Structure 1
Amino acid sequence: LSSKEKTEPVVITKDLISKYLGPPKFIKETVSKNGVGVVVGLAWTEYGGETLMIETAMFKGTGKLILTGKLGEVMQESAHAALSYVRSISDKLKINPDIFKKYDIHIHIPEGAIPKDGPSAGVAITTAIASIVTKRKVKPNIAMTGEITLQGRILPIGGLKEKLIAAYREGIETVYFPYLNTKDLDEVPQYVKEKIKLIPVKHMDEILISPSVLEPASSKKTRK
């Protein structure tokens, strides 16, 4: 345009956005409340942070671990490490270790068409497994991120800033994250830190043994 030509201001509305960009490619399901075997994890993508629903189920079988949701190799290995760790602390969780021989555990992460990978869901997967085998609900509005070891240590992850912004966007109230990522909090917007309770953790015991994440077990008889 010539510098002498006049232009009219344009107001961008939702209708105009849909007209020129088309309808949304997908509608992300709002994070539901946690429950037995259901935990909110946090993921990093090239487009920013995302919440990740991790669902587990347990049923009679031969001790198999079933993984679905288009999980990459690293995430699958993380799930196996999570199961091994939970089995190793059966006494702490007050469960009969025989359930790992008599029942299969199925871990599913929805939106199966989208590939998922990386180790940072380890903490959330471990918590989901512990929840399903103890039948203890995960308290609502909690999310978590972190890589785990077979000894239950929690290792640092990348993309903490983006993950916490995603948690804020979904109304998460509390996030457990690796203690070794504490230095990265300087990059997190102040409005996020003011809204979300951020709890740094070094070991899975701080999550699984503490009553702040898993609700007390019901009085119903547990599986044996």
Structure 2
Amino acid sequence: MWCSSIEVIHTYFKVSERLSQPGVAIGLAWTPLGGEIMFVEASRMDGEGQLTLTGQLGNVMKESAHLAISWLRSNAKKYHLTNASGSFDLLENTDIHLHFPAGAVTKDGPSAGVTIATCLASLFSGRLVRSDVAMTGEITLRGLVLPVGGIKDKVLAAHRAGLKRVIIPQRNDKDLEEIPANVRQDLSFITASCLDEVLNAAFDGGFTVKTRPGLLNSKL
């Protein structure tokens, strides 16, 4: 599909509007018709630690969501992520709802892992994800980022949407050779081997570890 520069600008502003509050991130998906950008939305509410997933998700994608929340819970103190009551136990008295719009379309596969983790990090930190960034990558329970397929089509989808930064797994670096030169020139690529690197690239100013005040003044 061909897009004029005016169409790209309009598309980007629509994308930017959807990332105007914490708990939203943009992923990249592959379909038989090509790549697509994919929004992930999260909200939290008082509850009993339940995770609700909506948007016609397959089992692999559901597992990615559980991996993401488990990794964030184990790293909550490191990044000073808290629930609404200030607890580092993100699911304490808290329910989470993750939604993948375009609910009539079935979605599956592991490549949304980095997007889900970023979306939840945004929700629990209260920080906005950059509105010009999209990402793809499988995650492990230890926060490693694993390679995925369809990189060329996914990057082209990000370019069509007017985005400027694309985060991909480090082990997919060789796939960038398939991207047309004019597209590569318009985009900034971040290759990540772990979720720490993904988060640093997805937020303005990075997503740094929070050091406890007492450690700053400690002496050996």
Give the structure-2-normalised TM-score: 0.81
SS of structure 1 residue aligned to 2:134:
strand
Contact 1:147 1:156 in 2 (8 A): yes
RMSD of equivalent CA atoms: 1.6
Q: Which amino acid in structure 1 is aligned with residue 163 of structure 2? A: I
Correspondent of 2:34 among 43, 48, 51: 48
Alignment partner of 1:131 is 2:122: yes
Q: Deviations over 1:23-62 (max 9, x none)?
A: xxxxxx9534423110000000000000001000011111
**Larger Rg, first or second structure (1 or 2):** 1
In structure 2, the residue matched to 1:214 is 203
Q: State the alpha-carbon separation in 2 of the partners of residues 89 and 98 from structure 1.
A: 10
Contact 2:73 2:89 in 1 (8 A): no
Contact 1:85 1:151 in 2 (8 A): yes
Q: Which amino acid in structure 2 is aligned with residue 102 of structure 1? A: N
Number of residue pairs matched by the alignment? 187
In structure 1, the residue matched to 2:80 is 94
Give the Å deviation of 1:98: 2.7
Alignment partner of 1:184 is 2:175: yes
Give the Å deviation of 1:180: 0.1
Give the Å deviation of 1:97: 2.0
Q: State the alpha-carbon separation in 2 of the partners of residues 41 and 163 from structure 1.
A: 9
Question: Can you give the 5+ residue segments of structure 1 that lack an aligned partner in the other structure?
Answer: 1-28, 218-224
In structure 2, the residue matched to 1:10 is none
Question: What is the identity percentage for the equivalent residue pairs of Structure 1 and Structure 2?
Answer: 46
Stretches of 4+ aligned residues off by more than 4 angstroms: none
Which protein has the bigger helix share? 2
Q: Which amino acid in structure 2 is aligned with residue 90 of structure 1? A: A
Give the structure-1-normalised TM-score: 0.80
SS of structure 2 residue aligned to 1:80:
helix
Q: State the alpha-carbon separation in 1 of the partners of residues 150 and 80 from structure 2.
A: 35
Question: Can you give the 5+ residue segments of structure 2 that lack an aligned partner in the other structure?
Answer: 1-12, 82-86, 208-220
In structure 2, the residue matched to 1:25 is none
